[in-house]
Structure 1
Amino acid sequence: MDKINAQIADRHDVFYWQTDRAIEPEQAGHIWADRHRYFTDDELLNKVNGVLGRDGLTDIEPLDLDAQTNLGNVNSVRVGRLATGKEVVIRCHPRGVKNGYFHAEAVAARKAKEAGLPSYDTLAIHDYEGGDDYAFQVIDKLPGYAIKKWLETHPDDEAKLLPEIGKEMARLHQIKVSGFGAFDNEKAKNGELVGLHQTFGEAVRAGLPFNIDVLKQYGILTEQQAEAIAKLFDSNPLLDSNEAILVHNDFADWNLLTDGQGITGILDWDECVGGIPESDIACWSTFFEPERLKGFLDGYFSVVQKSDDFDDKFELLRMRYVVSKMTLRLRRYSWEPTDFMREKIETGKTHLTQSMEYFGL
């Protein structure tokens, strides 16, 4: 595990962490597929209270695998109650696995809240200390229902909520950061968000050879297509940028809360990076069918003006995210062969075809 921890906590050659973390699919399945098994309620309560102190937890709700708090794929998430009566959320990394990003997440969430977005404060962070220890963070519990859950029972609200999602992302993109790509977690301990790359192009090309190789291995790309895609990202002027903004990088229905009218909570900052607006929009688009994009963009561009080169940047970055997401989904399908993952792979093929057609590949 020491070798694995050294690799997965290093985000220098990472475009998207869940895709590019240096770990084999079988190892990922062993660690994360049953991530809720690592601790009992009593153990977790005592562990968290050892960090929170006298105003700690009085109880933790029983684990509910169907709860909206457990829609993610990385942490085991529980709801607890403080002695003051306040509800909090505890996000726990698997036992024995170094997190390496909780501090960056906390700073990003705080900056978003300070900018007026419905984000949260972090009450405490415990870093992995070795052996059978485990990392966790305690954060505010935000109001609302995960959009994914809400739309299951209120499908007609989708058209109303899509512009609201776009508006919220546009507001997020007003937050400036230093540098590009994944943030330096050590510097985040001092409240700074500093990307690990000097240029946006460097951040976009991180992990690209590995991603392309995986898609070739699975027969998604031919050798000629792979070479054309790699060339498209070499010194492309569309990737030139002097200003980095905060990119959530996972602004999906399972990480946004709603009351049915607007967005009441933004969760799960564990993929956040320094980037450009088009990268966050492109990432969002890869989660869903292409038809969903119009309503989102209507909301986004009601807050900010659309740039002249938006379409070219969006398509270029959508291709980069699709190549990354397809790598993740194909490898994950080897240990999680679900209908959901199969559907996401097919959606990815559609996006990839559209992007390749846009650039004539």
Structure 2
Amino acid sequence: MIGIIGANGDVGNLCYKLLSNYGIKNIKIGFRNNKPLNNSLRNSCYIDLLDKESCFKFVKNCDSIINCSYSDKKGIKNLLEAVEYYGGKLVDLTHYEDIELPEINKSLICHGVGVSPGLSEALPVIISQKFDYVTDLALYYVVCDKFSYSSAKSYLNYINGKNIYPMTEIKNRKLQVIDKQKIYPKFNMFAMNLNMISYMDFRTLQLSRKLGLKNASFSICMPEGETYRFLMSGKFRKAASENDIKKLIEASEKDTRNIDSNCCILLDIKGVLSNHILKKCMILKGDSSLEITSSVAVATAILLLNKNNTHGIFDMLSFGESNKILDIILSVNEHLYYEVIDDTSLSEIRVSEGEI
């Protein structure tokens, strides 16, 4: 049985649909505020992550669990203790940072599962395997989408955290502030102009070291609009307030009235294979970040079902099963578009290519 915590939310609801369409029918639905729709057709159970007893009750009899619900440190600890007690498997969208975690000896936990963090660190590892070694990497997370409450809160806390370094990149193996005169590539595959916000954080630094990159850059790309202006204004508190969360949600809703939602991870990569310098680019596209996030969570949960001899806590970069997860993602959701193109950079792709 696969359990979904936060099933009434957008991500949890789509996880349920993807699992059902994939042929998995034995699903337990976790709800806190309201019972799910069509409750008579679903195996449902109350759970509040701040209520330890409800965590243990929900986790019991679940082979794998997807947590789509945002919680504080206490809630995460309660959930992990329950999963460890029953020797279960957990896929958590939350990335565990600055959290005192319980000792894990008989369960398997994969956290930070989603687009970013998640695929943004896993996909470069997958593509790097097509080279003997990689020298240069540029990743672009293109998004125009609505923020949910939990995603808005998580993102505001992230950009105000101590583990992010705005407007920086790896150049000649050193973390450096980006030159204000830097010219970013223009993507002909998009009809709209994109603003690029470059950054490095502890995950991308770890990835750069893992791959031995000489040059690396990571950018969030979004069209000019209310969301971009709000984020660039810096007019919000260091700890996300309810007012800030509301403003970000409203800004994203205004933008998506004028521009269709979309989400892409784009990658330019250069390296060496058999003493030849090669370049490749990669495109992964969905209709929304919600769609890709749900697909990643479901694929990871399915993969964990068959991992009976692995125990511990991992994020997507350290888990080491990126290729298998990608294969399952593309089988779980056939609407996603994925392609790796040889001897081409992203800026060389015409509008008709890549089906963007």
- TM-score past 0.5 threshold: no
Say which structure, 1 or 2, has more relative contact order (CA 8 Å, 6+ apart): 2
Which has a greater percent of helix? 1
With normalisation by structure 1, the TM-score equals 0.28
With normalisation by structure 2, the TM-score equals 0.29
